């Protein structure tokens, strides 16, 4: 099915998109507070809205909006010129005013106390604000930790993320936690006496990065107390209405393969008298959003669960077969029930008075705020991109099942009498999935006359742990077979030109692109971005490479031959396919040296290869990079495919 619109979408439409996020329903359930991110020139700015009414303006980024318990005020974090502070404003009107005057640093969480007089926040102090202000680098970096850098953050400094209490009326800020560890995801107990949070305080924490414990600390200060839970990650605690139980997201397999173990909903008594237990033990799906798109307001799978007012049920999101939906389960545990349905991605939600506010995306909608009540229908509350999208002619993705789930996106002016080049797109992760959400890049490619094929091969999340774990220590085998089979089936379509095939992917998808052109000459051209080419050097250069042993069944220094066998660079002499390499110079997840190795070897072999580098950008260039660089990237990609296909 093709929608009838006026003009084809272009890369430049990115400049007009609005990105909705963080829906917060008011305490009385009548209104929804949310953020809207916009593009202005080379920057993004973000403002607060209530429903369709804009509350804040200016060249600022307003984030983490939170209703006061009485619904009369809003607290939020405002960042301007790299300075972040807590602000508040009355809901009845009036100008926002600052609540804090913290030193330079970053605020990553904000929550009101139940009585409305205090806020808890997570703060990371900048140890060298003058250097940052003057845009100078330090004289040197003395590194003693295994984990000393982090994608999206940069080089880690001596400061840590800790909880602070803000007294709203007199603007006092009191540290609540301290030490050589990071604290995250704070949430108040219903009586305001305790705060639950997560932290990895193990003495060898850098060697056990996926182990987080659940803690509670008196809100007035005191020693934190660790709650009994199995080893493994923990995120987003949520207190039951009676304060006796804390639900959280996590699992109990810290040594499992990257992302293959399902994140589940757990609960533990806040008294610590009994161990935590998995509330959805038989549920073979992950309780988080793993749908990949390039048009989210923020990227990250986490969403705090929510309790029903009577404490009998808990609500959470879970990814399944290309979609992400709101679910519920009994607080005592059991079989989860999906509350929303259809081809869509529920990204975030909040709950009050039995009503939900959701942000969700669909194949032809970047994202909007919706109302939902159990047993009822979704009701759209905002239409932030409606006016712009009314002028666009878009294509609707079509299911394309080849034994694995996938989709085809045909040109919006499709004619059965023509033959079109086919582009195979491979997602990253590898434990993520393509799905039922709007994807700007795919729409642009379809508008330029390409059929876009985007499947979820084995190794993807959303189809159960066995499916996700199938490629453990065996990248380039079953996943390669699935992808090539999908191409084989697509080429049988009468409108696909089998002589004009392209392959593209980013991150793990870049790895697979490199692998595929080293194992087949089927594709006429290829494009690899933020890629992995050499797993051995990746071990020491990536911000998480030292943790590869869990994915590849052993350390690189113990099994160099295995790492070489699975590295696309090993097969570089086989690569005859013209290849465009895109990479960000600030990428710490898949460092630029991965691209440099591949480019240098191919160039020395006098192969058809080009290298496009993006200064300053990180791993998320295509999703959150500087807008002008995102546009330049898309234009270069279009020129490459036009030239080669």
- Among left, alpha and beta (phi > 0; psi -120 to 50; other), residue 43 is beta
Tokens of 212: 């987080």
User: 3-class DSSP state for residue 36?
Assistant: strand
Q: What is d(CA 49, CA 61) in angstroms, rounded to the nearest whole number? A: 13
Is the Cβ–Cβ distance between 38 and 44 less than 8 Å? yes
- Main-chain dihedrals φ then ψ at residue 620, nearest 5 degrees: -100, 30
Residue 507: active-site member: yes
Is the Cβ–Cβ distance between 372 and 365 less than 8 Å? no
Is the Cβ–Cβ distance between 356 and 371 less than 8 Å? yes
Evaluated on CA atoms 433, 439, 443, 445, the torsion sign reads: negative
Q: Which helix (H) or strand (E) holds 237?
A: strand 234-239
User: 3-class DSSP state for residue 644?
Assistant: helix
Q: Which of 47, 162, 327, 619 is catalytic?
A: 619
- Among left, alpha and beta (phi > 0; psi -120 to 50; other), residue 626 is beta
User: 3-class DSSP state for residue 165?
Assistant: strand
Contacts of 312 (CB under 8 A, 6+ apart): 330, 331
Q: What is d(CA 528, CA 592) in angstroms, rounded to the nearest whole number? A: 12
Residue 619: active-site member: yes
Is residue 297 exposed (0-12), middle (13-18) or buried (19+ Cβ within 10 Å)? buried
- Among left, alpha and beta (phi > 0; psi -120 to 50; other), residue 258 is beta
Is the bond preceding residue 383 a cis peptide, omega within 30 degrees? no
Q: Which of 26, 68, 507, 622 is catalytic?
A: 507
Q: What is d(CA 457, CA 259) in angstroms, rounded to the nearest whole number? A: 15
Tell me the longest C-alpha to C-alpha distance in the chain: 74
Q: What is d(CA 376, CA 368) in angstroms, rounded to the nearest whole number? A: 18
Rg (CA), the chain: 24
Is the Cβ–Cβ distance between 629 and 617 less than 8 Å? yes
Tokens of 146: 């295994």
| Catalytic sites, residue numbers | 507, 619
């Amino acid at each position: 099915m093709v929608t009838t619109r006026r003009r084809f979408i272009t890369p430049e439409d990115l400049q007009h998109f609005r990105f909705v996020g963080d829906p917060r329903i008011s305490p009385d359930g009548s209104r929804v507070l949310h953020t809207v991110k916009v593009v202005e020139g080379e920057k993004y700015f973000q403002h607060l809205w209530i429903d369709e009414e804009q509350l804040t303006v200016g060249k600022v980024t307003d984030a983490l909006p939170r209703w006061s318990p009485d619904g009369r005020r809003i607290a939020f974090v405002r960042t301007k010129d790299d300075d972040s502070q807590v602000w508040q404003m009355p809901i009845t009107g009036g100008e926002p005013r600052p609540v804090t005057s913290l030193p330079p640093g970053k605020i990553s969480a904000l929550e009101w106390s139940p009585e409305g007089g205090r806020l808890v926040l997570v703060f990371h102090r900048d140890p060298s604000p003058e250097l940052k202000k003057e845009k100078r680098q330090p004289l040197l970096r003395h590194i003693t930790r295994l984990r000393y850098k982090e994608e999206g953050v940069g080089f880690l400094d001596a400061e840590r993320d800790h909880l602070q209490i803000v007294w709203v009326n007199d603007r006092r800020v009191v540290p609540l936690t301290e030490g050589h560890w990071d604290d995250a995801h704070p949430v108040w107990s219903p009586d305001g006496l305790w705060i639950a949070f997560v932290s990895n305080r193990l003495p060898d924490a850098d060697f056990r990065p996926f182990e987080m414990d659940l803690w509670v600390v008196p809100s007035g200060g005191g020693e934190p107390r660790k709650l009994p839970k199995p080893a493994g990650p923990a995120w987003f605690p949520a207190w039951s209405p009676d304060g006796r139980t804390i639900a959280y997201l996590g699992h109990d397999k810290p040594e499992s393969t990257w992302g293959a173990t399902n994140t589940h909903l757990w609960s533990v008594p806040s008294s610590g008298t009994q161990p935590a237990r998995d509330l959805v033990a038989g549920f073979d799906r992950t309780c988080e959003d793993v749908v990949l798109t390039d048009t989210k307001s923020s990227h990250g799978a986490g969403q705090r669960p929510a309790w029903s007012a009577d404490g009998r049920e808990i609500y959470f999101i879970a990814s399944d077969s290309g979609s992400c939906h709101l679910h519920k389960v009994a607080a005592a545990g059991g079989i989860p029930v999906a509350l929303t349905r259809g081809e869509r991605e529920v990204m975030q939600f909040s709950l009050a008075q039995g009503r939900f506010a959701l942000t969700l995306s669909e194949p032809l909608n970047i994202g909007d705020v919706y109302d939902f009540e159990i047993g009822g229908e979704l009701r759209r509350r905002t239409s932030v991109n409606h006016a712009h999208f009314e002028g666009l002619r878009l294509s609707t993705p079509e299911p394309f099942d080849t034994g694995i789930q996938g989709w085809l996106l045909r040109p919006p002016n499709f004619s059965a009498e023509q033959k079109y080049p086919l582009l195979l797109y491979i997602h990253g992760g590898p434990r993520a999935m393509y799905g039922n959400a709007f994807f700007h890049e795919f729409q642009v490619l379809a508008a330029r006359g390409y059929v876009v094929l985007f499947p979820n091969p084995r190794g993807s999340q959303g189809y159960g742990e066995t499916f996700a774990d199938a490629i453990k220590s065996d990248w380039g085998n079953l996943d390669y077979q699935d992808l090539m089979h999908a191409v084989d089936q697509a080429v049988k379509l009468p409108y696909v030109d089998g002589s004009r095939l392209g392959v593209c992917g980013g991150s793990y998808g870049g790895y697979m692109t490199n692998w595929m052109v080293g194992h087949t000459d089927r594709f006429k051209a290829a494009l690899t971005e933020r890629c992995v080419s050499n797993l051995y050097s990746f071990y020491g250069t990536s911000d998480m490479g030292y943790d590869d042993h869990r994915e590849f069944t052993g350390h690189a220094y113990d099994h160099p031959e295995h790492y070489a066998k699975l590295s696309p660079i090993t097969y570089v002499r086989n690569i005859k396919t013209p290849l465009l390499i895109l990479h960000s110079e600030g990428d710490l997840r898949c460092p630029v040296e991965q691209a440099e190795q591949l480019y240098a070897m191919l160039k020395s072999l006098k192969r058809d290869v080009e290298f496009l580098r993006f200064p300053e950008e990180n791993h998320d260039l295509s999703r959150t990079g500087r807008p002008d660089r995102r546009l330049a990237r898309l234009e270069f990609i279009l020129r490459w495919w036009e030239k080669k296909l």
